[in-house]
């Protein structure tokens, strides 16, 4: 451009072929309306020198020159011509217009009118130094500096430096371009040789170059409108195209032709570089190019090859993470295989392609006429046809195929023409298997919306394993969308899902169907942050077999959150044999796939195992499934399932339940819920296949005391016994699944003290061997020993044999006690504890020694008696207590005696005389009849025959008066136990005192216990013997009884 400026200056002088004089110059500039100022230093025939030249607006001139010297010559005809121009300190401005016209502002008015002929360089020698041009172009501003010497038509040599901060050529743009070129002119052709650099060069979507350097070796026409046999060596730090990049790029280009039809060849190679999509170790390309620099259009056509390419590690990691999201699902083997295949195939591959990239004035078009990528691991991606991209839509005349390398075989077919909004088509996938998992996608149709979102729909069939099981033939619609940012959503709304079968250990589910409804907008949602799966489902119904027996599971509602956490509400499962099923329920079952296997919690659960007459309720625990094995650890309550409850609920805080294959195992310790006492250890085994099972029970030792009573464990003892202190231990076993439930057990009761309706019992010991533990049934011959039974009269050291019968019946086979020198025998009887009924006990007395009886009851200070009795005492016990009905004791032959040795008190004479007569008697026969309530009115009738008076004074007097036989009928009535207690209290009042004290006398601190008997000796001593002749006392008739 500076040469043009110099040419203009020369032309100015050349057009002024007359002698340059100041007046003429001024007039000429005025006529052209060109403001100017200058200093005319010299005017001569050969040399004209001007200094301080300023043309244009004085405030903003278009041309400034410190020094201009023109060399002229005059021809024979008087014409003056300029043949040499020398200039220093030139500063000029110019503008390149859209039509290609170059304007210099006010200087244009000094130039000759365009002739219409092509521009040519003048035959003019120039000498330039310190000269600059500021050029404004439609592509951006350019700063140019030049110096050189020589003829412009040939022989000129110099240097040119240019700088363009931002340039745009159509779809291409450059940043920080600068050039330093050697300029030479020969035969009116301009040679440019040197580097042209830029920070970046990018051509739209076609390619971009980072830090390109072009070593230019170009020859252009004198009008700068044509290149001749030009070459350029291009180097760049990186070349990026289509998401793939190569570094250390080297390329050779040739150029030939006018600016509007510039063309050439290229060869390119590049080394490793990284881009968003892939890293290429080596990139080569070659082909032809064509450009119209006036219009900013271009075309590249050629072939390219990428060697040792690899998908970006971060992108590959995201892809692997996405398919790894199938972990703990039936497609886990598919995800694992696909992840391995992606890692192997995308970590090293080569690619070959043939392409054509064209940027027109208004449109962009790229074509792949051939494409094939081959991975080191065996995958192949190939295009069968032509792919076209116009910047908006992709079209293909043939399918894109993927095969090999353990990747799915796929065919991508685009609709032609494309949809109105974007590409659309079909993705076909062959069935893909990994281990024992498979997935088969039907023709997946897709289309792109104007927003860039891709919609797709189809169907999927899959089969595969999960923790401990396998599911077959899952079918579901596959519909969703992929957003421009790569995020995706699958299954919006509700989706019907069906499966052919499901197997987990011994569980086999038949065909099932349910509706899954999206949670948070879609069942599957994915983005750069990961994949999220969530859905809800209602009315879940699953049917099948478990261990060859029916299985059913219903749930009111279920949901999956985050792909890992799920919840089931109101679960009801029935499994096992039809005759002995296991029933499980749960108000809420939560779980997660996070961690080993599947695990979670259960709340509000219940369980009934087979025919076990127990119900497990209020189950609260933690469950886990690993490799198909279910385990539950937690708390529960155990209750009796019988209509008539046999025991009250117990709790457990350490239950362990397992289901392995078709075998159920459960263990736990049962506690009394209020006292916390350890009652029993339970171990249950049940086979879902056979329906057989058993429960082992162990009572390690229950202590009954004031903190725990039997009636708190079972209603069976309610109203039967109370105030129990005892130790109970034993083992039991319940087996079910056969023709009937079999339950056995052996339990020891030791050192038992309690209160019964017939009186207190102390020191009872027994071992009970149950033949039917659940119904409390034993075999005959059970034996118990008891230290004391006290129905009012203490009975010690008894032995009872018995049998427990169904219906809470107790058969007393025989009871035997040593009693008052003889035996007390309880005859065989059956007692009904299962219903309000009389309990009849018949006692037999053998060789009852009345003297020992009086002594044992400590009546010997009041009454003395002899005689041996036998008899039977029937008793009846009911809700009102116990009573004797028709009891009879008969004195053995030989009779006995009865003597009252107590005080007669202050009786009057008559009664005292009668009492003295009967104070001592002997009898030959005595029948004692017993009737009445043990706790109420009691009557004892004694029929005494063959009475003989004793040896008291009154008796001897009566015998002297009369020898009439005497028979006595005596009736004693009153509260039985009260009478006995009262008579005993005469000698020992401690029992009376103890009844009103807060505890036993011996437990009262600092209490001194002493019993003293006070009596009138004269009243308690027998009358002294008198002589035969001693007068009798005066006895009046009214005093006789």
List, for residues 472-514, the tens digit of each pLDDT value: 999 989 899 988 877 888 888 899 999 998 887 667 888 988 8
- Which one has a higher pLDDT value, 44 or 258? 258
| Token pair in block for residue 289 | 């190019």
In this predicted model, which residue has the larger pLDDT, 577 or 866?
Answer: 866
Most confident of 465-469, 679-683, 1014-1018: 679-683
Residues of the chain with pLDDT > 90, as a percent, come to 30
Confidence category of residue 1031, pLDDT binned at 50, 70, 90: very low
pLDDT on residue 634: 92
**Tokens linked to 841:** 């006990």
* d(C-alpha 495, C-alpha 487), whole Å: 20
Instruction: State how beta strands 454-466 and 444-448 pair.
Output: antiparallel
pLDDT in tens, 357-375: 888 888 888 888 898 999 9
Cβ neighbours around 784 below 10 Å, total: 17
Is the distance from CB of 246 to CB of 228 less than 8 angstroms?
Answer: no
Residues in Cβ contact with 120 at an 8 Å cutoff, skipping those fewer than 6 apart: 153, 188, 222, 223
Residues 6 or more apart from 323 whose CB is under 8 A from it?
334, 335, 338, 339, 342
Mean pLDDT along residues 266-277: 72
Greater pLDDT, 324 or 127 = 127
Judged against a pLDDT cut of 90, whether residue 384 lies above it is answered with no
For 185-213, the pLDDT digits (tens) are 998 899 999 999 999 988 876 778 889 99
Cα separations in angstroms, 262 against 120, 270, 793, 1029: 21, 25, 138, 184
Query: Higher model confidence: residue 788 or residue 1006?
Result: 788
For residue 895, give the DSSP letter.
Answer: -
Place of tokens 């459960």: 666
Query: pTM above 0.75?
Result: no
- Of 238, 241, 293, 244, the C-alpha closest to 264 is 293
pLDDT digits (tens, 9 = 90+) for 292-302: 877 878 898 99
Q: Lowest mean pLDDT of 48-62, 575-589, 693-707, 982-996, name the range.
A: 982-996
Question: How confident is the model at residue 332, as a pLDDT?
Answer: 83
pLDDT higher than threshold 70 for residue 115: no
Band the pLDDT of 37: cuts 50, 70, 90: confident
Task: Work out the pLDDT band at 570, boundaries 50, 70, 90.
Answer: very high
**What is the secondary structure of 700-725 as a DSSP string?**
EEEEEBTTB-GGGT-GGGTTTEEEEE
Residue 387: pLDDT band by 50, 70, 90 thresholds? confident
Distances (CA, A) of 893 to 195, 260, 846: 155, 159, 14
pLDDT tier for residue 816 given thresholds of 50, 70 and 90: very high
Average pLDDT over residues 521-545: 82
pLDDT at residue 306, as a whole number: 84
Q: What is the structure's pLDDT at 1008?
A: 56
The string of DSSP letters for 633-660 reads EEEEEEEE-SSS-SS--EEEEEEEEEEE
**According to the per-residue pLDDT averaged within each range, which of 56-70, 74-88, 925-939 is highest?**
56-70
Contact assessment for residue 656 and residue 668, using Cβ atoms and an 8 Å cutoff: yes
Q: Average pLDDT, whole number, for the chain?
A: 81
């Amino acid at each position: 451009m500076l040469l043009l400026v110099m040419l203009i200056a020369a032309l100015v002088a050349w057009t002024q072929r007359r002698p340059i004089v100041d007046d003429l110059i001024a007039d000429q500039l005025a006529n052209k309306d060109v403001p100017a100022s200058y200093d005319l230093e010299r005017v001569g025939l050969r040399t004209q020198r001007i200094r301080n030249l300023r043309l244009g607006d004085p405030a903003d001139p278009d041309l400034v020159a410190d020094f201009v010297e023109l060399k002229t010559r005059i021809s024979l005809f008087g014409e003056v011509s300029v043949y040499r121009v020398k200039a220093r300190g030139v500063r000029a401005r110019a503008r390149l217009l859209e039509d290609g016209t170059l304007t210099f502002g006010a200087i244009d008015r000094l130039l000759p009118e365009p002739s219409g002929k092509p521009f040519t360089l003048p035959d003019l020698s120039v000498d330039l130094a310190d000269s600059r041009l500021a050029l404004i172009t439609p592509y951006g501003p350019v700063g140019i500096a030049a110096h050189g010497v020589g003829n412009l038509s040939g022989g000129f040599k110099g240097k040119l430096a240019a700088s363009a901060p931002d340039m745009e050529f159509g779809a291409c743009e450059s940043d920080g371009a600068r050039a330093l070129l050697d300029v030479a002119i020969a035969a009116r052709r301009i040679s440019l040789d040197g580097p042209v650099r830029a920070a970046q060069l990018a051509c739209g979507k076609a390619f971009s170059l980072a830090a390109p350097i072009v070593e230019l070796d170009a020859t252009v026409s004198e009008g700068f409108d044509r290149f001749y046999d030009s070459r350029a060596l291009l180097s760049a730090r990186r070349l990026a195209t289509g998401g793939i990049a190569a570094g250390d790029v080297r390329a050779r280009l040739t150029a030939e032709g006018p600016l509007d039809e510039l063309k050439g060849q290229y060869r390119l190679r590049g080394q490793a570089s990284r881009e968003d999509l892939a890293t290429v170790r080596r990139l080569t390309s070659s082909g032809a190019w064509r450009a119209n620099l006036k219009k900013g259009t271009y075309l590249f056509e050629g072939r390219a090859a990428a060697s040792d390419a690899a998908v970006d590690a971060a992108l590959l990691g995201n892809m692997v993470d996405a398919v790894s999201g199938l972990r703990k699902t039936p497609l886990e083997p598919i995800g694992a295989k696909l992840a391995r295949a992606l890692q192997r195939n995308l970590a090293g591959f080569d690619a070959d392609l043939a392409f054509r990239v064209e940027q027109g004035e208004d449109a962009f078009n790229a074509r792949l006429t051939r494409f094939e990528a081959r991975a080191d691991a065996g995958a192949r991606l190939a295009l069968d046809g032509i792919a076209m991209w116009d910047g908006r839509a992709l079209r293909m005349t043939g399918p894109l195929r993927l095969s090999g390398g353990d990747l799915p075989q796929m065919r991508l077919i685009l609709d032609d023409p494309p949809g109105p909004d974007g590409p659309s088509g079909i993705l076909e996938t062959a069935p893909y298997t990994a281990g024992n998992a498979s997935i088969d996608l039907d023709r997946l149709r897709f289309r792109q919306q104007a927003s860039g979102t891709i919609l797709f729909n189809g169907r999927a069939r899959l089969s595969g394993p999960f923790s401990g099981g396998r599911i077959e033939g899952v079918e579901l619609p596959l519909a969703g969308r992929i957003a421009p940012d790569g995020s995706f959503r699958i299954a919006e709304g509700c989706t019907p899902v069906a499966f052919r079968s499901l197997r987990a250990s011994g569980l086999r589910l038949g065909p099932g169907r349910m509706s899954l409804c999206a949670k948070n907008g879609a069942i599957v949602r994915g983005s750069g942050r990961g994949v999220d799966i969530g859905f809800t489902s209602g009315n879940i119904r699953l049917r099948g077999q478990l261990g060859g027996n029916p299985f059913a599971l219903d749930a009111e509602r279920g949901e999956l959150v985050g792909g890992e956490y799920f919840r089931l509400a109101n679960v009801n499962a029935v499994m096992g044999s039809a005759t002995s099923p296991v029933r499980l329920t749960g108000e809420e079952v939560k779980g997660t796939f996070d961690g080993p296997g599947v695990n979670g919690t259960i709340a509000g659960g219940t369980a009934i195992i087979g025919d076990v007459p127990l119900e497990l309720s209020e189950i609260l625990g933690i469950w886990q499934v690993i490799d198909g094995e279910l385990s539950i650890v937690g708390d529960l309550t155990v209750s009796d399932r019988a209509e008539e409850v046999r025991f009250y609920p117990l709790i457990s805080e350490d239950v362990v339940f397992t289901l392995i294959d078709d075998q159920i195992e459960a263990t736990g310790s049962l506690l009394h819920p209020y006292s916390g006492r350890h009652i029993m250890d339970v171990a249950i085994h049940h086979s879902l296949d056979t329906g057989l099972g058993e429960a082992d029970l162990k009572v390690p030792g229950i202590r009954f005391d004031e903190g725990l009573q039997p009636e708190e464990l079972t209603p069976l003892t309610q109203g039967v016994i109370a105030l129990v202190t005892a130790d109970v231990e034993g083992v039991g076993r319940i087996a079910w699944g056969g023709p009937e439930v079999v339950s056995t057990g052996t339990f020891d009761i030791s050192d038992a003290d309690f209160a019964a309706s017939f009186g207190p019992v102390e020191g009872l010991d027994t071992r009970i061997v149950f033949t039917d533990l659940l119904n409390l049934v034993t075999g005959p011959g059970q034996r118990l020993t008891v230290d004391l039974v006290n129905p009012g009269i203490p009975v010690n050291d008894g032995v009872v044999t018995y049998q427990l019968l169904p219906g809470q019946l107790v058969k007393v086979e025989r009871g035997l006690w040593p009693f008052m020198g003889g035996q007390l025998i309880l005859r065989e009887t059956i007692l009904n504890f299962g219903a309000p009924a009389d309990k009849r006990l018949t006692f037999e007395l053998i060789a009852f020694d009345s003297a020992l009886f009086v002594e044992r009851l400590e009546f010997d200070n009041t009454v003395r008696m002899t005689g041996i009795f036998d008899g039977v005492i029937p008793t009846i016990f009911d809700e009102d207590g116990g009573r004797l009905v028709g009891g009879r004791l008969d004195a053995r032959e030989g009779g006995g005696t009865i003597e009252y040795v107590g005080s007669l008190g202050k009786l009057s004479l008559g009664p005292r005389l009668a009492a003295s007569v009967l104070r001592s008697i002997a009898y030959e026969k005595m029948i004692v009849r017993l009737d009445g309530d043990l706790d109420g009115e009691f009557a004892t009738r004694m029929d005494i025959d063959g009475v003989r008076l004793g040896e008291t004074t009154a008796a001897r007097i009566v015998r002297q008066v009369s020898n009439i036989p005497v028979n006595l009928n005596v009736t004693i009535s009153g509260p039985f136990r009260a009478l006995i207690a009262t008579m005993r209290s005469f000698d020992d009042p401690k029992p009376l005192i103890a009844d009103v004290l807060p505890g036993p006398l011996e437990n009262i601190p600092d209490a001194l216990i002493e019993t003293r008997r006070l009596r009138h000796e004269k009243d308690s001593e027998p009358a002294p013997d008198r002589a035969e002749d001693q007068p009798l006392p005066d006895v009046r008739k009214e005093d006789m009884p």
